[in-house]
Amino acid sequence: MSGQPMPCNVAELSTLFLFEKLDAQQLDRLCREGRVEKFEPGPVYAEGEPATCFFVLLEGTLVLSRRVGNDDVEINRTSHRGVYSGAMQAYLGDRVRPVYTSSLRVTEPSRFFILPADTFAAIMQDWFPMAVHLLEGVFFGTKTTQQAIGQRERLLALGSLSAGLTHELNNPAAAAVRATSTLRERVAKMRHKLGIIAGGPFTREALAGLIEIQERTAERVAKATALSPLEASDREDALADWLDDHGITEGWRVAPTFVQAGLDIDWLDQVAAAVDEEILPNAVGWLNYTVETELLMNEIEDSTTRISHLVGAAKQYSQLDRAPYQVCDVHELLDSTLLMLSSKIGSRVTVVKEYDRALPKIPAYPGELNQVWTNLIDNAVSAMNGTDGDGTLTVRTALDRDRLLIEFGDTGPGVPEDIRGRIFDPFFTTKPVGEGTGLGLDISWRIVVNKHHGSLEVQSVPGDTRFQVRLPLTATDPDTSEEPS
C-alpha cells in the first residue's frame, strides 16, 4: 500500500532517537535517499511480502501482527515516535530471505519516514560497520543456538525412543530365536518318526495316503481360527478321549497342539480311516510333529514380520531415506510415531484413533512433524501418568476449512489457565526437575507455525486437554529464518 508523499524535514528526523546522533550530512542523506509518506487507517504491508522498505513512525499509531493459522495475532501496538519496523535485516543481504516477518497497519492517519531496503543496508554498512558485525553475530548466534537446542531436544527424544524400540524389537527377536531352536528339535524328531514309518511293512499306497493327510493337515493349520478358552478346553478334552480310545498314550499332551492347529475329532476319524490300525499311533505322532513345525514357522513368520514392521516404522519416523520436504500422509506419520512411543505410552493408557482417511496428502517436512507428534504425545502421557496412570489418548484428524486438523486429546488434569499463555515459551515446563527441558512445545510451535505456516493451539479443562495442529493443504514458502533444527 502506498501512502501520500510528504516533505522530508531534516530537523524532524534529528529529534528521533534513531537519528539524534547523526551529523548534518548524514541527515541530509537520509532525506535525499528516503521519503516521508502519510497513510490512512489500514494496512501498510503484509507478512510474507518482499521486504523493500524500512519504516520509522513519525506520528500516529501502528499495529504489528503475525499470522497464526487463519488469524492475525497482534504482537505490538504503539504511538511512540521513532519506533521502527520492516526490512530490519536488510544489512544481512541475501543470507536471510528478504520478506516482512510481520504485518503492519495503522489505526489513524500516520506518517512514516521510509528508507528503501538497499539504502538502509548501505547506510548500516557505511555508518555502523562495527555495529553490523555485532548484529550479525547476535542474529546468526541466536539462530545457531536455536539449532543446537533443537538438535539437543531431538537427541533426547531419540534416546528415549531408541530404548523403547530396543525393548519392542527384543520381544519378537527372542520369540523367533526360541521358535527356531524348538523347530530344529521337532524336525529332527519328524525325521526319526518318518524313518520308523518307512521301515515298517507298509504299502506304497498307505505311505502316499499318509503324505496326503500331512498336506491336508498343514492346510488346516494355515486356516485355523482362535477359539474361546471354554471352547478350546472342551475340544482338548474330546480329542484326548479319542486318542486314549485309539490306543495312543498320553493323548492329553498332543491334544492342545491339535486344538491350536484347528483340528477336531472329524479330522482324526479321517486319519484313522486312511491308515491301518497298527500304523495309527506313529502316524498321529508324525502328524503332531507336522502340526508343531507349522505352528513354529507361523510364530517365526509373525515375529520377523513384527520386526520388519518396527524397522519400517523407525524409518518412517526418522525419514532417513527420504527428502526433507515432500508430500506425505499424516496418518502414516502418526502411526509410526505411536508405534515408536508404544513402550512409553504403556498398557494403562488407551490409544483411540479417530482418523479421517479421506484427507489428502499434504506438502510438509515429515521428519519434523514427527518431532511435533512426539512432543505432544509425550506431554499427554506424562500428564496422565501424573494422576493415577490410567487415561485415554485420542488422536483425531479432520478437515477444518482449508486446513488439515491433527488433534491430540488426553484425559489428564488439564493445563491451568494461569499458565496456559506461557506453555509455548522456551524453557517453561511443569515437569519435575530433570524430567523436562521446557523446549518441546517451543520447538513444536516453531516447526508448525514458522516452518509450515500452520497453527498450534491448546484447549483445556480438567479431564479434557486438546492440542490442535492445523496445517495448510497446499504448499507454502517455508520460513527458513528460524529453522527449529
pLDDT per residue as tens digits for the range 91-141: 776 666 788 888 999 999 999 999 999 888 888 877 765 555 555 555 555
Does the structure show a pLDDT above 80 at 5? Answer: yes
Compute the average pLDDT of residues 372-383: 87
User: pLDDT above 90 covers what percent of the chain?
Assistant: 21
pLDDT of residue 203: 67
H/E/C letters for each residue in the chain? Answer: CCCEEECCCHHHHHCCCCCCCCCHHHHHHHHHHCEEEEECCEEEECCCCECCEEEEEEECCEEEEEEECCEEEEEEEECCCCCEEECCCHHHHHHCCCECCCEEEECCCEEEEEEEHHHHHHHHHHHCHHHHHHHHHHHHHHHHHHHHHHHHHHHHHHHHHHHHHHHHHHHHHHHHHHHHHHHHHHHHHHHHHHHHHHCCCCCHHHHHHHHHHHHHHHHHHHCCCCCCHHHHHHHHHHHHHHHHHCCCCCHHHHHHHHHHCCCCHHHHHHHHHHCCHHHHHHHHHHHHHHHHHHHHHHHHHHHHHHHHHHHHHHHHHHCCCCCCCEEECHHHHHHHHHHHCHHHHCCCEEEEEECCCCCCCEEECHHHHHHHHHHHHHHHHHHHHCCCCCEEEEEEEEEECCEEEEEEEECCCCCCHHHHHHCCCCCCCCCCCCCCCCCHHHHHHHHHHHHCCCEEEEEEECCEEEEEEEEECCCCCCCHHHCCC
Q: Comparing 115-119, 208-212, 285-289, 343-347, which segment has the lowest mean pLDDT?
A: 208-212
Identify which of 128, 36, 144, 50 has the alpha carbon closest to the alpha carbon of residue 91. Answer: 128
More confident residue, 345 or 274: 345
pLDDT of residue 435: 47
CA angle at residue 118 from 117 to 123, to 5 degrees?
A: 100
Distance CA 352, CA 397 (A): 12
Q: Confidence band (pLDDT; 50, 70, 90) for 445?
A: confident
The CATH superfamily label for domain 4-127 reads Jelly Rolls (2.60.120.10)
Compute the average pLDDT of residues 162-176: 68
Highest mean pLDDT among 167-171, 172-176, 266-270: 266-270
Distance CA 109, CA 60 (A): 6
Identify any residues that bridge with 54 across adjacent strands, giving them in sequence order. 86, 115
Contact 481, 96 (CB under 8 A): yes
Does the structure show a pLDDT above 50 at 482? Answer: no
453: region left, alpha or beta (phi > 0 left; psi from -120 to 50 alpha): left
Phi and psi, residue 88, nearest 5°: -75, -15
Per domain, the residue ranges of the chain are 4-127, 161-308, 325-482
Identify any residues that bridge with 362 across adjacent strands, giving them in sequence order. 328
C-alpha cell at 131: 555495529
Does the structure show a pLDDT above 70 at 81? Answer: yes
Identify which of 224, 215, 228 has the alpha carbon closest to the alpha carbon of residue 257. Answer: 224
CA angle at residue 62 from 34 to 484, to 5 degrees?
A: 90
Distance CA 468, CA 471 (A): 10
Distance CA 175, CA 144 (A): 46
The mean of the pLDDT values for the chain is: 79
pLDDT of residue 24: 92
Q: Comparing 147-156, 253-262, 316-325, 432-441, which segment has the lowest mean pLDDT?
A: 432-441
Does the structure show a pLDDT above 60 at 432? Answer: no
C-alpha cell at 320: 532417513
**4-127 and 325-482 in the same fold:** no
Identify which of 21, 251, 227, 234 has the alpha carbon closest to the alpha carbon of residue 127. Answer: 21
Distance CA 72, CA 302 (A): 52
Q: Comparing 153-162, 234-243, 406-415, 450-459, which segment has the lowest mean pLDDT?
A: 153-162
pLDDT of residue 481: 40
CA angle at residue 105 from 101 to 111, to 5 degrees?
A: 115
Highest mean pLDDT among 69-78, 180-189, 397-406: 397-406
More confident residue, 142 or 11: 11
Does the structure show a pLDDT above 70 at 365? Answer: yes
Neighbours of 200 (CB within 10 A): 13
Compute the average pLDDT of residues 183-208: 71
Distance CA 425, CA 443 (A): 9
Does the structure show a pLDDT above 80 at 366? Answer: yes
pLDDT of residue 48: 84
Q: Confidence band (pLDDT; 50, 70, 90) for 428?
A: very low
Q: How far out from the chain centre does Cα 380 lie?
A: 14
Does the structure show a pLDDT above 90 at 36? Answer: yes
Identify which of 185, 193, 145, 112 has the alpha carbon closest to the alpha carbon of residue 442. Answer: 145
- 227-272 pLDDT per residue, tens: 788 888 888 888 888 888 888 877 888 888 888 888 888 888 888 8
Reported residue count of the chain is 485
Q: C-alpha distances in angstroms, 86 versus 81, 246, 309, 353, 447?
A: 15, 94, 50, 44, 23
Does the structure show a pLDDT above 60 at 319? Answer: no
pLDDT of residue 131: 59
Q: Assign domain 325-482 to a CATH class.
A: alpha beta
Helix axes 129-198, 366-385, angle to 10 degrees: 80
Distance CA 135, CA 415 (A): 38
Does the structure show a pLDDT above 80 at 483? Answer: no
Sign of CA dihedral 251, 256, 257, 258: positive
Compute the average pLDDT of residues 330-336: 90
Contact 381, 393 (CB under 8 A): yes
Does the structure show a pLDDT above 50 at 281? Answer: yes
